[in-house]
Amino acid sequence: MPLKKSSRNMTSIKFQDNRTFGLFHTICRIIYLSCATNFWFEDMDYPAKLMKIYNATSRVLEVTVAVFIISDWGAFWTQPNLTEKQSNDRILFAFSHVVMYSVYSSIVYYKLEIRELVMTLAVRLKVYNDGTIEKMMLRTTFRYLTALVFVCSSTLFSFGIGSGIQALTTNATFTTVIPIWPDVEDRRIIAGAARIVHYIVWWIFVVRVISVYFIILTSTIGITHQFNNLCKYFEKLENIFKGSGSQEEKERKYENAFKVGIKMHSITLWCTRQTQLAGGVAFSGQVIINVFVLVLLMIQMMFTERTLIAMMPIIFTASSVLIGTGVFLWNAGDVTIEASRLPAAMFHSGWHNSTRQSSVRVRKLVTIAIAQAQKRVLIKGLGLLELSYESYVTIVKSSYSLFSVIY
């Protein structure tokens, strides 16, 4: 559907005035190019014919990816002649790909909710916008998304390079993932071509999954910095009483401004709940993948030759899992930390400068607002695990503990 002219103008204006708007707009454009899913609250500003062709192509790729995942599980019945490493890879990929695709499907399912979330973070909450905090958010987002892309792409490259070198220097075939067909010992040209196709489809699958991870991760970072933004907003309210005007005017202005802050806090809490709803499977899936994959990788290391080529895929896969889980849990924990600073910011907002009847109203308002802000803001995985720096360390330790029990 072509983008309306008014939407194009609005996008242009807000992109210039609001860097958060520009960030989310860019992220949504990247996601659309990766999987043809529009998380933006307006139409994508791409040519209509191109979008029509790409949407049809993406549906074909979606079916191809689904067949690819089914092929992972079919290999348990058709691939009996595997080495110990290949057998572990088959289990690792079959399980992790299902979890990753479940995350992808869940996020796409909540597309409308995410659109509303993006619109709220990029537009509605920009009543007050601290430039320094916004720059910090942009740097944090760029740093984490770059790290996520680097480690995930490095994993796929390492499997491709490792398998390619083995195929060129030994009698092995170019086998990255273990598909339902061809057999790992099949050396026909058509079998080799099929393995290359499987490797390309693997890239397509990972690109689609990682791209939708972007929107959940960016939203979580955005909420963290919005709580920081709110703290700065309340702390600056005391400046109202340092300005010109009568005491009555200052008190009225302060009271109205404090109510605006309460409304922004309420909307920010809604954004947190919306992120938990849309990203709940992503948070839970990442925890499950972390434990399962790390245990399998530690088992695999016991049977792997200690050479650079053999160890490279294991090292990059472990790094990918650890960093991928880390960026989710660390930022979810930052939401809790920044939200916990809000009651103190409200208390130091200057309410004590109000007098007479205004003082009575403001004290009641501040008391209720602080009581609401003192409730812990949490993002959870698996419905009960509080995501934070501490839970990240616990999850990593539990992976090794489980490995120790097994072996």
Beta-bridge partners for 380: 386
CA distance 202 to 98: 13
Per DSSP, the three-state class of 364 is helix
Peptide bond into 182 cis (omega under 30): yes
Tallying the residues shown for the chain, one arrives at: 407
CB-based contacts of 338, cutoff 8 Å, min separation 6:
224, 225, 227, 228, 231
DSSP per-residue codes, 165-194: HHHHHSS----SS--SSS-TT--SHHHHHH
Per-residue pLDDT, 407: 64
The number of beta carbons lying within 10 Å of the beta carbon of residue 229 is: 24
pLDDT at residue number 172? 87
For residues 262 and 349, the answer to whether their CB atoms sit within 8 Å is no
The CA-CA-CA angle for residues 129, 120, 382, to 5°, reads 115
Q: 381 — phi, psi (to 5°)? A: -115, 145
Residue type, 325: T
Q: What are phi and psi of 235, to 5 degrees?
A: -65, -30
CA distances from 183 to 3, 75, 98, 191, 313 (A): 48, 9, 22, 8, 21
Task: Give the DSSP letter of residue 123.
Answer: I
Structure tokens at 69: 């995942």
In the chain, where the domains are located: 5-406
Q: What single letter denotes the amino acid at residue 1?
A: M
User: What is the pTM for the complete model shown?
Assistant: 0.92
Q: What is the DSSP string of 120-163?
A: IIIIITTTS--HHHHHHHHHHHHHHHHHHHHHHHHHHHHHHHHH
- Indicate left, alpha or beta for 356 from its phi (over 0: left) and psi (-120 to 50: alpha): left
Contact in structure between 234 and 261 (CB atoms under 8 Å): yes
pLDDT (tens, 9 = 90+) of the chain, 407 residues, equals: 333 433 444 444 444 468 999 999 999 999 999 999 999 999 988 999 999 999 999 999 999 999 999 999 999 999 988 988 889 999 999 999 999 999 999 999 999 999 999 999 999 999 899 999 999 999 999 999 999 999 899 999 999 999 999 898 888 899 999 999 999 999 999 999 999 999 999 999 999 999 999 999 999 999 999 999 999 999 999 999 988 889 999 999 999 999 999 999 999 999 999 999 999 999 999 999 999 999 988 888 887 777 877 788 888 899 999 998 999 999 999 999 999 999 999 999 999 999 888 999 999 999 999 999 999 999 999 988 999 999 999 999 888 887 777 76
Count of C-beta atoms within a 10 Å radius of residue 40: 23
Return the ∠ at Cα 217 (arms to 211 and 219), rounded to 5°: 110
Question: 98, 310, 51, 65: which is closest to 203 by C-alpha?
Answer: 65
pLDDT tens sequence across 2-47: 334 334 444 444 444 689 999 999 999 999 999 999 999 999 889 9
